[in-house]
């Protein structure tokens, strides 16, 4: 049983809770809690993070062991008090990781993705990126360095991560007495708000006392407006992941002198030049096929996300048994599908070529399985001929996209 990765069960559990949240929201007549595009985009980003995590989690753990074995400062035993100390230490490290994630451009570039969503529900909890996971691991290294055993640290990180999932919902109102100690959905909702008085508040993940101690605590008063102060007007999978790195690079290019360039990378996001993003969007996102139309054929997206989730669940379960070519295939086919989902929402002109790419990847993989890889050009030739003879791209636009006016 040792090769089974039980994180595979996180995916069905996530969808079960999401389903319950959606049903309860419907019953309470609060449809505004969910938005189709934003849910698809949040889940896509979550799938990518879980997927890439499979490839790098082991190296995170090895790093904790390396630090613990060679550089630990104290020899901390394992008893019940140490577990309590570890919960507190984990949340304290989280507080500073999270706060710096909002105060330093380079870290914000990774963390901003978690804040794109203008809907606050369980899907927003899934909006974590691999960049964020890497930066966070850097911060977590403090724990084995102090002398907490890596196996304890790893267990605690799973508990800590699971807790924060449940704070992303609007269905639980204020629980005032609990807020003295614990982060509740209302407290974390304030962290996701863009109203002036709610900005840069409530960084804690489990406990509210770090925020109270460092003066960043804010309780819910007026109903918050969720999302960024300057919302990202794109559901492009890649743009959502990388836009802020491009913004930093652009600011860095525009800055003169060492101090200004340093500030571009490590300064505060509050000082980011606000006309950089529109300029970049003009440069990179002007390729919409139908800018004023919305997708009507939603089932196509659901099917793709459903297949990705199923693949990811099985893949996670059997990860240690698979060979590298299988792993690379699953990784790339899921990533291309997620880019495809974003491109569908965005009506990108190039989406059709992505469909070809995907077919090509699948056929090549099967040829490889059958030891016939040298025949890779056959599906390629068939696709080129099919496109020339039947202009499939036009049919695709008309049939699959089935666009409707969105006014
Ligand atoms: Zn945050
Ligand atoms: Zn959050």
How many angstroms does the Cα of residue 124 sit away from the middle of ligand 2? 7
Averaged over 234-257, what is the pLDDT?
Answer: 93
d(CA 327, CA 111): 27
**Ligand in closest contact with the CA of 112:** 1
Q: Which ligand is nearest to the CA of 205?
A: 2
202 alpha carbon, closest ligand: 1
Residue 385: alpha-carbon gap to chain centroid? 39
User: What is the distance between the alpha carbons of residues 333 and 225, in angstroms, rounded to a whole number?
Assistant: 36
CA 135/CA 7 separation, integer angstroms = 21
Ligand nearest to C-alpha 188: 2
Angle value at C-alpha 390, between 386 and 392, nearest 5 degrees: 80
Ligand 1 centroid to 134 CA: how many Å?
Answer: 16
Mean pLDDT across the chain: 89
114 CA distance to ligand 2 centroid (A)?
Answer: 6
3-state SS assignment for residue 404: strand
Count of C-beta atoms within a 10 Å radius of residue 157: 19
140 alpha carbon – ligand 1 mean position (Å):
17
**Residue 206 CA to ligand 2 centre (angstroms):** 12
Predicted pLDDT at 1: 45
Ligand 1 centroid–CA 44 distance in Å is 19
What spacing in Å lies between the alpha carbon of 108 and ligand 1's midpoint? 9
Ligand with the closest atom to the CA of 167: 2
Beta partners for 288? 348
**Nearest to residue 211, comparing CAs of 187, 189, 186, 192?**
187
**Banded pLDDT at 309 (limits 50, 70, 90):** very high
Give CA separation, 48 vs 290, 309, 334, 352, in Å.
27, 10, 8, 21
Contact 119, 39 (CB under 8 A): yes
Segment 257-282, tens digit of pLDDT: 999 999 999 999 998 988 999 899 88
Cβ pair 123, 117 in contact under 8 A: yes
Q: Is 280 left (phi over 0), alpha (psi -120 to 50) or beta?
A: alpha
What are the DSSP E strand ranges found in 238-337?
Answer: 293-295
Which has the closest alpha carbon to 117: 126, 106, 105, 104? Answer: 126
**Residues 38 and 314: beta-carbon distance below 8 Å:** no
Measured in Å, residue 235 CA sits from the centre of ligand 1 at 19
Task: Note the residue count of the chain.
Answer: 407
**pLDDT tens, position by position, 21-41:** 999 999 999 988 998 889 999
Scanning 149-275, the segments in alpha helix (DSSP H) are 150-165, 176-179, 185-191, 209-213, 237-254, 258-266
Tokens of residue 373, six digits: 């890889």
Ligand nearest 189 Cα, by number?
2
Percent of all residues in the chain with a pLDDT value above 90, rounded to a whole number:
66
> How many C-beta atoms surround the C-beta of residue 122 within 10 A?
25
CA of 15 to the centre of ligand 2 (A): 18
Pairwise CA distance, residues 277 & 247, whole Å: 6
CB-CB contact of 140 with 157 (8 Å): yes
Main-chain phi, psi angles of 52, to 5 degrees: -70, -30
Share of the chain above pLDDT 70, in %: 94
Gap from CA of 198 to ligand 1 centroid (Å): 12
The CA distance from 281 to 312, in Å, is 32
> Tell me, what's the pLDDT at 296?
66
121 CA → ligand 2 middle, Å: 9
CA 207 / ligand 2 centre spacing (Å): 14
Give the DSSP H or E segment for 398: none
Tell me how far the alpha carbon of residue 224 lies from the centroid of ligand 1, in angstroms: 15
| Ligand that comes closest to the CA of residue 203 | 1
Token couple for 144: 């084995």
Residues forming a β-bridge with 404: 294
The dihedral through the CA atoms of 10, 16, 19, 23 has a sign that is negative
- Mean pLDDT within 125-135: 94
Q: For residue 99, which ligand has an atom nearest its CA?
A: 1
Report the C-alpha gap between 272 and 269 in whole angstroms.
Answer: 5
Q: Quick one: pLDDT band at residue 294, thresholds 50, 70, 90?
A: low
- pLDDT at 206 (0 to 100): 95
d(CA 407, CA 401): 17
Report whether 99 contacts 216 (CB < 8 A): yes
Cα(148) to centroid of ligand 2, in Å?
26
Residue 365 Cα, ligand 2 centroid: separation in angstroms? Answer: 38
Ligand nearest the Cα atom of residue 110: 1
């Amino acid at each position: 049983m040792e090769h089974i990765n039980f994180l595979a069960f996180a995916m069905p559990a996530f969808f079960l809770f999401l389903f319950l949240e959606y049903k309860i929201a419907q019953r309470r007549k609060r449809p505004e809690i969910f938005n189709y595009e934003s849910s698809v985009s949040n889940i896509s980003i979550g799938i990518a993070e879980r997927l890439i995590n499979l490839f790098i989690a082991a190296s995170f753990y090895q790093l904790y062991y390396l630090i613990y074995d060679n550089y630990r400062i104290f020899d901390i035993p394992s008893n019940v008090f140490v577990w309590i100390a570890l919960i507190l230490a984990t949340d304290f490290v989280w507080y500073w990781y999270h706060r710096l994630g909002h105060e330093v451009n380079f870290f914000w570039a990774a963390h901003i993705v978690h804040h794109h969503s203008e809907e606050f529900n369980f899907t927003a909890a899934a909006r974590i990126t691999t960049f964020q996971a890497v930066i966070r691991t850097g911060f977590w290294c403090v724990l084995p360095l102090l002398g907490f055993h890596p196996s304890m640290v790893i267990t605690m990180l799973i508990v800590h991560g699971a807790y924060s999932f449940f704070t992303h919902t609007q269905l639980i109102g204020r629980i005032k007495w609990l807020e003295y100690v614990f982060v509740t959905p209302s407290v974390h909702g304030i962290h996701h708000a863009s109203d002036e008085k709610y900005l840069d508040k409530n960084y804690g993940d489990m406990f509210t006392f770090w925020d109270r101690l460092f003066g960043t605590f804010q309780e819910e008063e007026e109903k918050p407006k969720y999302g960024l102060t300057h919302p990202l007007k794109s559901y492009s999978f890649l743009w959502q992941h990388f836009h802020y790195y491009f913004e930093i690079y652009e600011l860095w290019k525009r800055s003169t002198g060492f101090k200004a360039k340093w500030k571009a990378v490590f300064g505060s996001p509050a000082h980011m030049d606000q006309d950089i993003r529109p300029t970049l969007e003009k440069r990179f996102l002007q390729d919409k096929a139908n800018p004023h139309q919305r997708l009507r054929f939603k089932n196509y997206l659901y099917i793709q996300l459903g297949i990705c989730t199923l693949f990811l669940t099985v893949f996670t379960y059997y990860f240690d048994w698979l060979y590298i070519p299988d792993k690379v295939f699953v990784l790339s086919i899921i990533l291309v599908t997620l880019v495809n989902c974003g491109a569908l929402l965005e009506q990108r002109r190039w989406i059709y070529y992505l469909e070809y790419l995907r077919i090509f990847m699948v056929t090549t993989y099967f040829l490889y399985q059958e030891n016939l890889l040298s025949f890779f050009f056959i599906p390629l030739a068939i696709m080129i001929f099919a496109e020339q003879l039947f202009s499939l791209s036009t049919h695709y636009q008309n049939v699959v996209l089935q666009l409707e006016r969105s006014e």
